[in-house]
Amino acid sequence: MDKHYPPPFPPVERRRTATAEDVAARQTQEYYPASPHRVGHTPGLHGEDAPYLSQQIIRPGRRQAVEYEEQDYADEPPKKQKTTSRIYRPAKPTRRLERTRFHWLVFVGLAMFIMIIGWLTFSALSSWWGVTQDDWHYGRPRTWQTDAVVGHGDSPRNPSHFIAMNLSGQILVMEVPGGNASKAQVYIGPRLFGAGEDLAPVTVSFEDRNGDGKPDLNIHLQGSDHMIVFLNDGTKFVPTKQQP
């Protein structure tokens, strides 16, 4: 640095002779001699091991003398204590969401939708349960059989055996007269069309439809109000028109 500062205090002029006060001070031992470590310096200066009695001090970092005060420095603002502060961001105000209100028709439509879904589910379950029960009773293909006395060479001891079958939608009835398989006859009924018709069970009954005293063959289709009638001519059954 090229800047020069003035000396911190004016130089002390050396006195040629000691005054009476100096002599008295030396005799009473109130005089503080210069430090022996500062050999060659002017006597009366404050050495590093001598008490510091000056009323002026030099503050480090400043090349000027300031008046000493017991409590504080008049020309210096009070020092601020170093403190750690935590800065909190202001919290955003809580915003209450508006409650969504629906029209009453929305609830009506929702209720109808639930009813429709429930009805479709119930219908599907009912259909599945019905088919499952038919599988247990009639098997696949749907088959039903019974014994009856119809006057075709049979008797109560040897009744005729009938087997009704729905073979992939084709209605068939097989008769074994009096248990004699060599005289078995097959009666072909109508063919059924439509979804699920191949799983419709077929049963038969024997009632006199024309009043001649001979039991006739009546074919029933489950789930249908129509009945297929075969008239009894004494040796076999003859197809006729369907009757309700």
pLDDT tens, residue by residue, 63-87: 554 444 444 555 666 666 666 777 7
Which of the given ranges, 47-56, 57-66, 115-124, has the highest pLDDT on average?
115-124
What percentage of the chain's residues is helix, strand, coil (to nearest 5)? 20, 25, 55
Q: What is the mean pLDDT of the chain?
A: 78
Confidence check: pLDDT of 239 > 60: yes
C-alpha to C-alpha distance for 223 and 191, rounded to whole angstroms: 15
| 183 close to 153: Cβ distance less than 8 angstroms | yes
First to last CA, the chain: 131
Confidence check: pLDDT of 215 > 60: yes
Confidence check: pLDDT of 62 > 80: no
| 113 close to 129: Cβ distance less than 8 angstroms | no
pTM given for the model = 0.52
